[in-house]
Structure 1
Amino acid sequence: CEMGGKNAVIVMPDADLDKAAVAIQGGAFGSTGQRCTATSRVIAMPQVKDALVERIVAQAKKLKVGPGLDESVEMGPAVDEKQWKTDFDYIEVGKQEGARLVLGGGKPSHLDSGYFVEPTIFDNVTPEMRLFKEEVFGPVLAVATANNLDEALKAANSVEYGLTAGIFTQDIDTILRFVEEVESGMVHVNEPTVGGEAQLPFGGTKSTGVGEREMAEEGLNFFTELKTVFMNYSGKAERLMIR
């Protein structure tokens, strides 16, 4: 049972920044951020953070926002007025907490009606901020800095949720340590945090879920009630002998 997520992507100094930016943009703003597996946090090393943010902003600016029935649209509206207001509430929280708004933060100027929100990116977010810790479920991305993998893992694990997480790096030792130490039920390496496959278990840790997994054999077992039946169809009396 999935009950929330605040999914982080760690970007190391050796990452392919162009590839990372495309993946993060898709993970953050696909489905208007209204996916439990959406990328809502980026934790980047200082050597690459500014260049990464520039690339994510450039990718997000290309998105066409509008009604989903228009096949050329890449990002639609919030699901309802309540979620729309929640998105803007958290945008205001980010401003008040001192995060730097680098993109969006408002309603698209070309849309007169509808629950639309611009793709929004905040930089200089810290792990103490609500924007870093709380699920928005909208197109709002928080970017923070960590000086090394230790700090990045500590920040990634500091929230109450543990659904999915990702890392961009070329170093196998870094990958293996991340896979081992990140507190999430699913892990992505050099790809977006979103997505799942029917043959693989889906679910998370901590407050994200109740410990069981959906999909795959684990999901079938969770939704299956077992019953043991003893049946004699021989027409003969049977006597159970216990010695």
Structure 2
Amino acid sequence: MAEWKKYRMYINGEWVEASSGEYFESYNPAEGEPWCLVAKGTEQDVDRAVQAAQKAFEHPRWASMTYTQRGKLLRRLGDLIAERASELAVYETLDNGKLIREMRGQLQYLPEFFYYYAGLADKIHGETLPIDKPDMLAFTSREPLGVVAAITPWNSPLYLTTLKLAPALAAGNTIVIKPSEVTSASLLELMPLIEEAGFPPGVVNVVTGFGDPVGSALTSHPLVRRVAFTGGPESARHVIRNSAENFARVTLELGGKSPNIVFDDADADNAAMGIIAGIFGAAGQSCVAGSRAFLHKKIYDQVLEKVADRASRIIIGDPMAAETEMGPLATEAQVKRMEHYVNAGRQHGARLVYGGKQPEAGGSGWYFEPTIFEHTDPKSPIAQEEIFGPVLTVIPFETEEEAIALANGTNYALAAGIWTNHLAKAHRVAKSVRAGIVWVNTYRSISPIAPIGGSHWSGYGRESGYEAIYEYTQSKVVWVNTSGEPMPDPFIMR
């Protein structure tokens, strides 16, 4: 135990112990063993962090900083992340088991989000209103909200934190981040770079621990003005209830049950690789995982055969190895969850095409085979519920209308893939499918320029892109009497 790394919390620019004095273990999924200790935060620690963030928000060091200056700090942070990308990627892989090559690629691209919001920081502006009163000038401005609470999940900790951190800071807010208790290490490793970039103490704070009490205390704290949450629907319901205490604005990114629709005129090889990428990339532990494949009956057998063949050749193993294509699941509970859904699929009459169990060579790690079901009832649990793992359901269709109905047949509406060489069809289906993100002849493409978000059980609000700035600012209107005359009648509205 003495050789395990020990992480404290980061509050007001200092590394601090939890008020409880306690730590909890964080596990390496590839080995199924603890590798570090993380401070176990309390309600008192949340209050300490939020108070620090509020003071930093009001302090001239941050409040009087120009938006251009804030942009320069964000650009500097992006540069520092670029320099440390490979090192930060190792911590991500150690903590959640994702492939080191995927994490390196993701971390090397992450600075682009900070550069984007660095450039946007001094372009947040209002407008002069063409008001209908000749003796009045009216204009709007956009102002920061105050303290932001960010609750982040375990599947892509630094990427999903960045989607909240970059626009929040660009807009002039301060932030308290509660990372998943499963993956706290990489975010804490980022904090020295926050300091080195020049952000004043208290602007960025991290409180580690569990949803109860840390998450609950943070999302209901009276000084929190904005809650940005990524996670599951059940946890989101708690967040919404908590926000009733402080009337904080809330945005929710809650995952999905995303469809990949393959028409008979699609490139079968490309579509098969897109399906593989959508569901077996990141071991299916992705908010936008393409967990439902709808294949036109004319090419159903052909595409399914290609998907099953490639799935059978996926190299499962150590996520630190260059040749590995699928690493472990992030937690032991995720393995049990996969087993539950495999059993449910069989019970509801689906045919297991491939996978469905832990691989024999998995050792003590939390590995699970890529799994494919066909003859799936579209209303069965495996076709309706977010599994968040490498489990694919394959369902045939005949008409465009049927494909759209099947795609829209769940409570989720985050992402969708459309595979066709027919341009008009692509546009028709993209318009008709309920999803906040639609990819055509590709999948899992991201950019800081493009918004991310869904509706219904996939949440509301948008992250990334210019739209995110509106989530972290509020509008103020200013009226100026230009006539130089006193108000004529104080009892009549002007």
Q: Shared fold by TM > 0.5?
A: yes
Contact 1:28 1:141 in 2 (8 A): yes
Instruction: Please list, as runs of the form range in 1=range in 2, the aligned pairs for 1:154-193 lying within 5 A after superposition.
Output: 154-192=405-443
Tell me which residue corresponds to 1:80.
331
- CA gap 1:47/1:224 in 2 versus in 1, 3 angstroms: same
How has the CA–CA distance of structure 1 residues 240 and 7 changed in structure 2, closer, same or farther, with 3 Å as cutoff?
farther
Q: Which moved more, 1:172-181 or 1:39-48?
A: 172-181
Shift in CA distance, 222/49, structure 1 to aligned 2, threshold 3 Å: same
Query: Counterpart of 1:35?
Result: 286
Aligned to 1:197: 447
Contact (CA 8 Å) 2:291, 2:392: kept in 1 or not? yes
Larger mean Cα displacement after TM superposition, 66-75 or 85-94: 66-75
AA in 1 matched with 2:410: V
The verdict on how the C-alpha distance between 1:112 and 1:228 changes in structure 2, with shifts beyond 3 A counting, is: same
What amino acid does structure 2 have at the position aligned with 1:162?
A
SS of residue paired to 1:191:
coil
- Aligned ranges for residues 15-26 of structure 1 at < 5 Å? 15-26=266-277
Q: Extract structure 1 runs of 4+ deviating beyond 3 A.
A: 225-230, 239-243
Q: CA deviation at 1:228?
A: 6.3
Query: 1:105 deviation in Å?
Result: 0.6
- Structure with higher Rg: it is 2
Name structure 2 gaps, 5 residues minimum.
1-251, 489-494
Structure 1 partner of 2:354: 103
2-structure distance, mates of 1:108, 1:174: 40
Q: Structure 1 residues 145, 224: CA separation in 2 closer, same or farther (over 3 Å shift)?
A: same
CA contact (8 A) 1:108 1:116 kept: yes
User: Match for 1:24: what amino acid?
Assistant: I
SS at match of 2:395: strand
Matched residues, number: 235
SS at match of 2:473: coil
Corresponding position of 1:233? none
SS of the residue 1:13 aligns to = coil
Q: 2:322 aligns with which of 58, 67, 71?
A: 71
Residue in 1 that maps onto 2:403? 152
**Aligned residue number for residue 376 of structure 2:** 125
1 or 2 for the larger relative contact order (CA 8 Å, sep ≥6)? 1
Calculate the TM-score normalised by the size of structure 2: 0.46
Give the unaligned 5+ runs of structure 1: 231-238
Superimposed CA distance per residue, residues 7-54 of structure 1 (whole angstroms, 9 cap, x where no aligned partner): 001111111100111111011101110000111000111111111110
Please give the alpha-carbon distance, in whole angstroms, between the structure 1 residues aligned to 2:333 and 2:447.
Answer: 30
Q: Distance in 2 between matches of 1:11 and 1:173?
A: 15
C-alpha separation between the residues in 2 aligned to 1:14 and 1:181? 19
Contact kept? 2:418, 2:430, Cα under 8 Å = no
- What is the alpha-carbon distance in structure 2 between the residues aligned to residue 124 and residue 16 of structure 1? 23
Equivalent in the alignment of 1:235: none
Structure with bigger strand share is 2
Q: Is the 8 A contact 1:37 1:195 kept in 2?
A: no
| TM-score computed with the length of structure 1 as normaliser | 0.91
The structure where helix makes up a greater share of residues is 2
Q: SS where residue 175 of structure 1 aligns?
A: helix
Matches within 5 A, 1:206-221: 206-210=456-460, 212-221=461-470
Distance 1:108 1:186 in 2: 33
CA contact (8 A) 2:416 2:437 kept: yes
In 1, the alpha carbon distance for the partners of 2:285 and 2:457 equals 18
- Distance in 2 separating the partners of 1:225 and 1:240: 31
Percent of aligned positions that are identical: 37
Question: Following TM superposition, by how much is the alpha carbon of 1:227 offset from its aligned partner in structure 2, in angstroms?
Answer: 5.3
Is the contact made by 1:6 and 1:39 (CA closer than 8 Å) also made in structure 2? yes
Deviation at 1:66, TM superposition (A): 1.3
Deviation at 1:146, TM superposition (A): 1.1
